[in-house]
Structure 1
Amino acid sequence: MTTLPKNLPADARRAATVEAVVALAATQNPSDITTTAIAQQMQLTQGALFRHFANKDAILLAVMEWVAERLLARIDQAAASTASPRAALQAVFLAHVGFVAAHPGVPRIIFSELQRAGETPPKRAVQTLVGSYGTRLHQLISQGQAQGELRADLDVQAAATLFIGTVQGLVMQSLITGDMARMCVDAQRVFAIYQRGIEAGQESTR
């Protein structure tokens, strides 16, 4: 349970609400998290919570905006710290895994939102995040091809999809076992297999 000062500024209160939801989602189904539970986590009344958010969807939208801002900033920083597109892809992969390991509630929230019927603001925010992430991967993979590091015949779309799917696979395995730290241990070995499939010198003979 989070203990906060009673008179936080509005922005700080909204940020604390987001963090409370991420913390709750680490141990329970996000769809089961009620505004009552969020308020209790923050030691607030529901009335105090609704002074900053109109409803639960507004809270979830703020959560997804928080995730997008921090995850994209983290992978951008990781990519910028490397000397080549191939190294950048590995850095992005490990940064993404590290982010999820630090915030295990995040993938639970994302999967929960994507399973919701119909269009909702939080679901659209997830889709926007995935699109922005994919654009970055396309750019890195295309740069790797142009510099001769990655296969010239590589299907860029398929390579980007497989990259994201590989991260998701590690996440799912960790959620199943309940050991999020294991994901960080396995990430290097898993990425090495992915890299061998996309790097130059592995062109198709068909």
Structure 2
Amino acid sequence: MSPSNNEHESVRSRQYLPSEERRDETARAVVDLAGEQNPNGISTKAIAEKMGVTQGALFRHFPNKEAIFAGVIQWVARRLMKRIDSAIRGIDSPTAKLEAMFHAHVGFVTDHPGVPRMVFGELQHHGDRLPKRMVRELVGRYTDKVAGLLRDGQQAGEVDATVDVEAAASLFIGTIQGLVMQSLIAGDPVLVRERASGAFAIYRRGIEP
């Protein structure tokens, strides 16, 4: 049985999506694949097949695989920070903001288990390729945001004035990374969310006056 005209039109429309929509769709496809396998083993053929397009359609928007992965990190950074900003909006207490930020991050990696695999994979790459630099930039921005909330907490009397802000910001991120690593070892992405409240409670006790 031959494909109908409508099916042909659907295929053609998939091949010629607008650039921004194609980049977002590509990022989602790579993140989904990273949740199923080692990100370093993801081929452009597998990405195209996941999206239901040809490799030619994929390369109309990305010059090479490295550019695809850079686009994925950009997608991750944009959506993670947007989710965090939304979670803390309207909250006055700095430590309450930290808690909301913690849970928003946990929710993000639970919804997209391929993301931590992508991040860890990029940091393990030799050399100074663009996606790796973008991961470092994201971690830097994230650390600065946590450190800013910790300083606000010190000024508000919610965080001990003697707390090393930079160390506490690193520990905040490390706590989430530890939960993620445990979930990867267990093969259970939901484990991060189940243990998040208890982990943050311990963290909070460590920074309180």
* Class of the TM-score when normalised by the shorter of the 2 chains: over 0.9
How many equivalent residue pairs? 198
TM-fit CA distance, 1:6: 4.0
2:107 to 98, 102, 110: 98
Check if 1:18 corresponds to 2:18. Answer: no
Tell me, in whole angstroms, the C-alpha distance in 2 between the residues paired with 1:31 and 1:142: 38
Percent identity, aligned pairs only, is: 55
Partner residue, 1:53 = 62
Tell me, in whole angstroms, the C-alpha distance in 1 between the residues paired with 2:152 and 2:94: 6
Check if 1:196 corresponds to 2:209. Answer: no
1:84 to 85, 93, 101: 93
Q: Cα deviations across residues 142-164 of structure 1 (Å, max 9, x unaligned)? A: 00001101101000011001000
Tell me, in whole angstroms, the C-alpha distance in 2 between the residues paired with 1:124 and 1:191: 29
Partner residue, 1:158 = 167
Tell me, in whole angstroms, the C-alpha distance in 2 between the residues paired with 1:80 and 1:134: 18
1:113 to 118, 122, 134: 122
Which stretch has the larger CA shift, 11-20 or 114-123? 11-20
Question: Where is the helix percentage greater, Structure 1 or Structure 2?
Answer: 2
5+ residue gaps in structure 2? 1-10
5+ residue gaps in structure 1? 201-206
1:66 to 63, 75, 82: 75
Letter in 1 for 2:189: M
Q: Is the 8 A contact 2:15 2:54 kept in 1?
A: no
- Give the alignment's TM-score, normalised by structure 2: 0.92
Structure 1 runs of 4+ aligned residues shifted over 3 Å read: 3-7
Alpha-carbon RMSD across the aligned residues, in angstroms, is 1.2
Partner residue, 2:137 = 128
- Give the alignment's TM-score, normalised by structure 1: 0.93
TM-fit CA distance, 1:102: 0.3
Tell me, in whole angstroms, the C-alpha distance in 2 between the residues paired with 1:20 and 1:86: 35
Q: Cα deviations across residues 109-135 of structure 1 (Å, max 9, x unaligned)? A: 000000000101100100010000011
Partner residue, 1:204 = none
